[in-house]
Amino acid sequence: MNSPAAPPWARCIPETGGRWTRRWVDLMLRLTVRRSLHPAADLGALRAMTARIDERYGWVEPGMRRTAQRVAGVPAEWIDVAGSRPDRVVLYLHGGAFVFRFPQLHAGLAARICTRVAARALVVDYRLAPEHPHPAAGDDCLAAYRALRADGVPAAGIVLIGDSAGGNLVLATLHRLKAAGEPLPACAVAMSPVVDFTLSSESLVGNAARDPIFTLGAMLGFRRLYAAPEAFLDPSVSPLFGDWAGLPPLLFQVGSTEMLRDEAVRAAERARAAGTPVELEIYDRAPHVFQAMRRLPQSEVALDSLARFVGRHAGWHG
């Protein structure tokens, strides 16, 4: 097992408010999501449950405009807010363990990001496993990036952002673009990404009782649905094992009690060792993809920090 402690250069953000709200969120997640995510669970029932969660807790930002579109044959949705500039595009790759969609939650999250950086977002509705296993999702995300470029959006006018499985796809897309010698985006953000399909991060065990969403059994099940074992070391599945030199500036955000905590830590350390500009933020006791949970004060703190990162490296300001 490889379990790095928080490196001295990481930013560890304390929980300064909303503790009781966070505890309530943790409890609700344990009673609904975690209890349902077990290896024998019926995928259809799980998708119905996540759809109910998305409908109930998804937040539509005031003034947000949603426009469905196909990009290079891939279903997608443009998110615009007041002040969105057409020359600034957030290419947002959603999470959902490679098998779920949360259209309301992710549209709201993309809108909150766009408001902070005066951009518009393209949320890619990539193909889901197990109906479409690897490399379908990655192919769709790469095709969407290339379509933006073909439509005249410069690479410097694109920022890649993703959460969980989407964070994996962000990093995998960067590795594939670099390998192909194509222009890279201005910068990228990975929130609680999955980076190692060999499941060798010690926090998968050390935080198993503290994480209110995942279990190791659930992760093993989702892994099986997405990729075959012979692909686990491929950087398009496990970006951790790619060449991190020459990538654009990266920001990793993760909660301290997540099972995926060490995934972000290890990836950030790989990037730093390769000379890639990287920032790592670890939020005390924050749940998985807490940025989408707008009632948590840490969500606002993280998105404000994300906006400052994008401002530094893409020159975008709200």
Helices (H), ranges, 133-274: 136-150, 165-179, 203-206, 216-226, 261-273
Tell me if residue 258 is catalytic: yes
CA-only gyration radius of the chain, Å: 18
Q: Note whether 304 and 116 are within 8 A (CB).
A: yes
Which residue of the set 279, 288, 299, 313 is catalytic? 288
- Left if phi > 0, otherwise alpha if psi is -120 to 50, otherwise beta: which for 45? alpha
Which residue of the set 61, 106, 164, 313 is catalytic? 164
Amino acid identity for residue 160 in this structure: L
Neighbours of 98 (CB within 10 A): 26
Tell me if residue 164 is catalytic: yes
Q: Note whether 63 and 93 are within 8 A (CB).
A: no
Q: Note whether 76 and 63 are within 8 A (CB).
A: no
Q: Note whether 81 and 61 are within 8 A (CB).
A: yes
Which residue of the set 61, 258, 263, 269 is catalytic? 258
Q: Note whether 295 and 21 are within 8 A (CB).
A: yes
Residue with tokens 């893409």: 314
Tell me if residue 313 is catalytic: no
Taking the C-alpha atoms of residue 50 and residue 4, their distance in angstroms, rounded to an integer, is 32
Residues annotated catalytic, as ranges: 164, 258, 288
